């Protein structure tokens, strides 16, 4: 089952964020807290959305995404910031269900595309995304400026 996250899910969302950070060997970079997530996901201005995947009543994964915009297409899009499935439940269709739900949300909102980044060494994720029909962007370098 896939459902939208609610404010009561904030501790679970933080657990999943810590899970993906650990998997990506970036746990030392996590600054998210329950308070920050409550404000930014469920406050007066909602900066992102979260959907959750469950096996029966057991939470197994999440996807966090937000709207972006393509000037070339003059259309909104969706940026998938994180998609994570607990290692025990990988390979059982939960990641595919989460990605398909994000894609369906983008289609319902008349978005032109869904985009995301993948760490170069994350071959299982790269292969998964390719199997879903996604194509890597050649010739682009991601830049970041931390404020």
Tell me, what's the pLDDT at 145?
A: 83
Number of domains in the chain: 1
CA distance 42 to 114: 23
Q: What pTM does this model have?
A: 0.93
**Mean pLDDT, range 65-92, rounded to an integer:** 96
CA distance 132 to 99: 9
Question: Under a CB-based contact definition with an 8 Å cutoff, are residues 10 and 37 in contact?
Answer: yes
CA distance 133 to 147: 34
- 17 in any annotated domain: yes
Kindly tell me the burial class for residue 104, based on how many C-beta atoms sit within 10 Å of its own C-beta (0-12, 13-18, 19 or more).
Answer: exposed
- 74 in any annotated domain: yes
The CATH number of the domain holding residue 15 is 3.40.630.30
Q: Does position 53 have pLDDT exceeding 90, yes or no?
A: yes
Q: Has 129 been annotated as catalytic?
A: yes
| pLDDT tens readout for residues 31-52 | 999 999 999 999 999 999 999 9
**Mean pLDDT, range 69-98, rounded to an integer:** 95
Of the residues 79, 84, 89, 129, only one is catalytic, namely 129
CA distance 98 to 104: 10
- 146 in any annotated domain: no
Give the confidence band of 61 by pLDDT, cuts at 50, 70, 90: very high
Q: What percent of the chain has pLDDT over 90?
A: 89
Q: What secondary structure letter does DSSP report for 101?
A: H
CA distance 9 to 29: 22
Q: What percent of the chain has pLDDT over 70?
A: 100
Question: Under a CB-based contact definition with an 8 Å cutoff, are residues 80 and 114 in contact?
Answer: yes
Q: Does position 142 have pLDDT exceeding 90, yes or no?
A: no
- 136 in any annotated domain: no
- 36 in any annotated domain: yes
CA distance 72 to 64: 25
Q: Does position 140 have pLDDT exceeding 90, yes or no?
A: no
- 68 in any annotated domain: yes
Number of residues that make up the chain: 147
**Mean pLDDT, range 9-27, rounded to an integer:** 96
**Mean pLDDT, range 77-87, rounded to an integer:** 96
Q: Does position 20 have pLDDT exceeding 90, yes or no?
A: yes
């Amino acid at each position: 089952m896939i459902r939208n996250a609610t404010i009561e899910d904030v501790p679970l969302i933080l657990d999943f964020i810590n899970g993906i950070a650990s998997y990506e060997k970036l746990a030392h970079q996590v600054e998210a807290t329950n308070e920050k997530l409550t404000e930014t996901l469920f406050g007066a201005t909602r900066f992102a959305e979260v959907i959750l995947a469950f096996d029966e009543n057991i939470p197994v994964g999440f996807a966090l995404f937000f709207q972006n915009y393509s000037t070339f297409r003059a259309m909104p899009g969706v940026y998938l910031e994180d998609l994570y499935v607990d290692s025990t439940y990988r390979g059982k269709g939960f990641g595919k269900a989460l990605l398909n739900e994000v894609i369906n949300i983008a289609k319902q909102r008349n978005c032109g595309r869904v985009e995301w980044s993948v760490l170069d060494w994350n071959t299982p994720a790269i292969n998964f995304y390719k199997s879903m029909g996604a194509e890597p962007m050649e010739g682009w370098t991601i830049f970041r400026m931390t404020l």
